[in-house]
Amino acid sequence: MKDPIDILMVEDTPAFVAKISRALRRAGLSFHLRRIKTKESFLHELERHRPDVILSGHVPPSFHRFTALAIARETRPDVPFVFVTDSNDARHAAETLDIDAPEGVLQSSLPTLARTLRGALREARQRNRLRDMELAVLTSRWSD
């Protein structure tokens, strides 16, 4: 895992970002966190940078977290997306939107957030390695 982890967080409450940051530091995670709170800034960040992971917490009604998830799946499908929520609605909502369910961490379980991030990043690396190997096989078949 590259160090530090580049985190893009969709969140409108600075106090919650501080709470997340404290939980990640307590877990020994080295990270750089950029907070955004509008759809426009989210699109801008995804265009300019490829974060290692996207976190979504509280967002204003004008920019719903499921909108952020749909945008991320469209523009950066290889980047893990993790909801930090006060309910277990993430998986159900993702199924309703017909998209892959994101990882989710309840606010009451913030100590598990670092473990969730590490697992999501590990899975993303494995998917990328598999995709690269498949591409190499296809490329070698075409060159023969």
Model confidence at 104, pLDDT cuts 50, 70, 90, reads: low
pLDDT above 70: residue 144: no
Of residues 110 and 14, more confidence is placed in: 14
What pLDDT does 30 receive? 94
**Rounded CA separation 99/42 (Å):** 19
Residue of 57, 44, 45 whose CA lies nearest to 15: 57
pTM of the predicted structure, to 2 decimals: 0.78
Q: How far apart are CA 47 and CA 17, in angstroms?
A: 22
Instruction: Locate the domains of the chain by residue range.
Output: 5-143
Tens of pLDDT along 113-138? 888 889 889 988 888 888 878 888 87
Q: Select the more confidently predicted residue: 59 or 83.
A: 83
Fold of 5-143: Rossmann fold (3.40.50)
